[in-house]
Amino acid sequence: MRLANKVAVVTGASRGIGRAIALRLAEDGAAVVVNYKNSGDAAQAVVQEIESQGGRAVALQADVANLSDVRRLFEEVERTFAHIDILVNNAGWADFKPLENITEEHFDTLFNLNVRGLLFTTQEAVKRMNDQGRVINISSGITRANAAGGSVYSGSKAAVEAFTRCWAAELGPRGITVNTVSPGMTQTDLMTEVIPAESLDAMIAQTPLGRLGQPADIADVVAFLCSDEARWLTAQNLLVNGGVG
């Protein structure tokens, strides 16, 4: 129970990687805010799973890309738990388009959630965060790849990685660590939507460990970063991708 008495907010925790992170942090004893945008039933199922194992959780709806939703979310978190110890900025979206097909809508959708939303979520969270807190930003291995069609998504995640390093410097005096976790290809709804099924075998072949990532593979690393054992790690980007170069 290394996170006993800690309060964790996980954005986008109704499905995929965020869901696995919420379950894992609860297993370590944290009270967890399961944020979601649309999937209320799925978020409630995550809460029930945590409660059935003796943990504490609440599902809170908020579109992280919408600043007034973000403010409402943290007012509710403060009313429910009084303070925050851990923020996991997981909610994100990916979409691929070659340069000639990029539209303002494509750009705004990705940057409003992955960059603007993440920034203002962090601003609201750290106002209420205890000293020695943790911020974990979920980026993607794409920022290191020459990925045709991925410029806007990769650019949005590159901003996230830059935020991590600046915030680590700003929040270090409070003992708050800020780190990035960059998953490789991980089996979720998002991966199924954006990666053609016929490309998966080639991706697995490029992975030294010879399989796709699972949400729990990412969640275990996030849980480590949240623990006291990771107290001397900040401003880092952990590539959790089975060894893809």
CB of 192 to ligand NAP, least distance (A): 8
DSSP string, 33-90: EEEESS-HHHHHHHHHHHHHTT--EEEEE--TTSHHHHHHHHHHHHHHHS-EEEEEE-
| Known active-site residue 36 | no
Structure-block tokens of residue 222: 């996030």
Of 178 and 185, CB closest to ligand NAP = 185
Separation between Cα atoms, residue 160 and residue 226, nearest integer Å? 18
Interface with ligand NAP by CB under 6 A: which range of 8-16, 125-133, 168-176, 230-238? Answer: 8-16
**Distances in Å between the alpha carbon of 195 and those of 78, 142, 145, 149, 183?**
38, 13, 15, 12, 15
The residue assigned the tokens 């170069």 is: 245
Q: Is 38 in the site for ligand NAP (CB under 6 A)?
A: yes
Q: Which of residues 117-136 bind ligand NAP (CB under 6 A)?
A: none
Q: Which of residues 175-194 bind ligand NAP (CB under 6 A)?
A: 183, 185-186, 188-191
Interface with ligand NAP by CB under 6 A: which range of 2-10, 32-40, 200-208, 229-237? Answer: 32-40
Q: Is 39 in the site for ligand NAP (CB under 6 A)?
A: yes
Of 64 and 230, CB closest to ligand NAP = 64
Question: Whose CA is closest to 89, among 163, 153, 155, 27?
Answer: 163
CB of 157 to ligand NAP, least distance (A): 7
Interface with ligand NAP by CB under 6 A: which range of 2-10, 48-56, 92-100, 120-128? Answer: 92-100
CB of 175 to ligand NAP, least distance (A): 26
Residue from 16, 55, 133, 150 touching ligand NAP (CB under 6 A): that is 16
Taking a C-beta distance cutoff of 8 angstroms, is the pair 112, 63 a contact?
no
Amino acid at 26: A
Q: Which of residues 45-84 bind ligand NAP (CB under 6 A)?
A: 63-65
Separation between Cα atoms, residue 121 and residue 143, nearest integer Å? 22
Q: Which of residues 199-228 bind ligand NAP (CB under 6 A)?
A: none
CB of 170 to ligand NAP, least distance (A): 22
Phi, psi (degrees; rounded to nearest 5) at 172: -55, -40
**Catalytic (active-site) positions:** 153
